[in-house]
Amino acid sequence: MATTDDVKLIGAWPSPFVMRARIALNIKSVDYEFLQEQLGTKSDLLLKSNPVHKKIPVLIHGHKPVCESLVIVQYVDDVWASDQPILPSDPYDRAIARFWAAYIDDKWFPSLSGMARGPTEEAKKAAYEQVVEGLALLEDAFGKCSKGKPFFGGDRIGYLDIALGSFLGWIRVTEKMGNLKLLDEAKTPHLVKWAENFCADASVKDVMPETDKLAEFAKMLMAKAKSAPPN
Amino acid sequence: MAEEVKLLGFGGSPFSCRVEIALKLKGIQYEMIPQELANKSPLLLEHNPVHKKIPVLLHHGKPICESVVILEYVEETWKGVPLLPEDPYERAMARFWAKFIDEKCLSTVWKACFSKGEEQEKGMEEVLGLLKTLESQLEGKKFFGGDNIGFLDIVADFAALWLGVLLEVAGVDLLNDSKLPLLCKWIEEFNNCPVVKETLPPRDMLLKFFKMQQAATGPQYK
């Protein structure tokens, strides 16, 4: 069976997308070799394994590469199917989880990025409002998905927990550096509690970067962006 | 057991057609509730408040939105003709390339077809590159799914009809045997499938629609 083949993950510690793959592998108790990319360069292995996008994460399972974080999470769930399911078992619940994960990647994350990278102050403010609006939608979705349990996936972390939770480090950095609140006890109380539970989970705590370390990294990235020629 | 399956869709949309093709392949009876793109119905706004877009599948009154999410739902809910491969690695590949089509190909094609001059030239170079990359997945195969159409073929429905129409409206000859031989062969095979033939809208209707868009300020919908 393929599960005895070796597993490698090409990634980097600050990336939320890489974190998704790591959490999925941790949930399934899969041993893997973590190959860290250096900022500013792309290794030969990365370029060979992901020639289309040249991006991390890339899972290499028995020499076969799988790219795109949520594709990797679903692959991990499919291969190590007997342990700890990541996607819910009911097709409708699966569709809801996939819908919100797609919303997070296609709409919400670009707004979060826009808070830091928007071309003008107005654009950054508009992005902030979109992020807050999105979190209100996700707070509501949490109520429907969790059915009173601690996670979107119920008793245990699932697909949608991974999709959103992987951004918690960056959410906290954005709050700290912007001196504002995104997750708010008044507006998104369930998500606040969920965030605590998520970060404390055994499959997450060793791969979630500390806020201070991530903030240092963010400052370094911003300094680099300011000094680099525009492209 | 009577299944109640309805589709809030639009015959001219490749996203809506994806769902129809999948339902037909599975032999599922459904009621199409055609939607107007400009005038969003209360039913659409109720069932897709987040995006306010078609397609929306209603199964026993419960909405599922986003065409690729709907395809996965159809695959998991109804047995019969499999849309996705059984092997986890092949499934991952199908999902990867579906994302490639939706996130890279579609927007690049739209932009290139509705731009002009040098911007269009550059755009079309990019389109050709992306489509060459996509067609490499057809090497040695009749369809992306192998001998029969599957998930990725369905997601690629845009390339079977809308792509050619948009390129014609833009006056660009890209979709030919010398530049994209594998894709052109696939288009022929895909369009020959009975469920595809009975689902895709008439080419001349699409051509007329997009010529009007060209004359205005750009595409009305994505």
Quick one: which of A192, A195, A167, A158 has its CA closest to A27? A158
Distance, in Å, from the CA atom of A40 to the CA atom of A1, rounded to the nearest integer, reads 37
Mind telling me how many Å the CA of A35 is from chain B's nearest CA?
A: 21
Q: ipTM of the predicted structure?
A: 0.94
Q: Which chain A residue has its CA at the smallest distance from B90's CA?
A: A75
A231 part of contact set with chain B, CB < 8 Å: no
Q: What are phi and psi of B56, to 5 degrees?
A: -130, 125
Distance CA A191, CA A197 (A): 10
pLDDT in tens, A149-192: 999 999 999 999 999 999 999 999 999 999 999 999 999 999 99
Q: Which member of B59, B88, B100 has the closest CB to residue A52?
A: B100
* H or E segment and range at residue A175: helix A168-178
pLDDT in tens, chain B (222 residues): 457 999 999 999 999 999 999 999 999 999 999 999 889 999 999 999 999 999 999 999 999 999 999 999 999 999 999 999 999 999 999 999 999 999 999 999 999 999 999 999 999 999 999 999 999 999 999 999 999 999 999 999 999 999 999 999 999 999 999 999 999 999 999 999 999 999 999 999 999 999 998 888 655 554
Q: What are phi and psi of A25, to 5 degrees?
A: -65, -40
- Backbone torsions φ then ψ of B73, nearest 5 degrees: -65, -45
Q: Does B68 touch chain A (CB under 8 A)?
A: yes
Distance in Å from the first CA to the final CA of chain B: 37
List the structure tokens of B92.
């991952």
Cβ(B13)–Cβ(B55) under 8 Å?
yes
d(CA B91, CA B75): 12
∠ CA B121-B125-B130, nearest 5°, is 145
Residues 6+ apart with CB under 8 A from A141: A96, A100, A152, A160
Question: According to the model, what pLDDT value does residue B37 have?
Answer: 85
The verdict on A39 touching B (C-beta cutoff 8 Å) is: no
Residue A94 to residue B95, Cβ atoms within 8 A: no
The 10 Å Cβ neighbour count of residue B28 is 15
Q: Which of B59, B92, B133 sits opposite A75 (nearest CB)?
A: B92
Sheet arrangement for strand A7-11: A33-36, A7-11, A58-61, A64-67
Domains and CATH numbers, chain B: 5-77 (3.40.30.10), 88-212 (1.20.1050.10)
Taking CB atoms and an 8 Å cutoff, what residues of chain B touch A98? Answer: 66, 69, 72
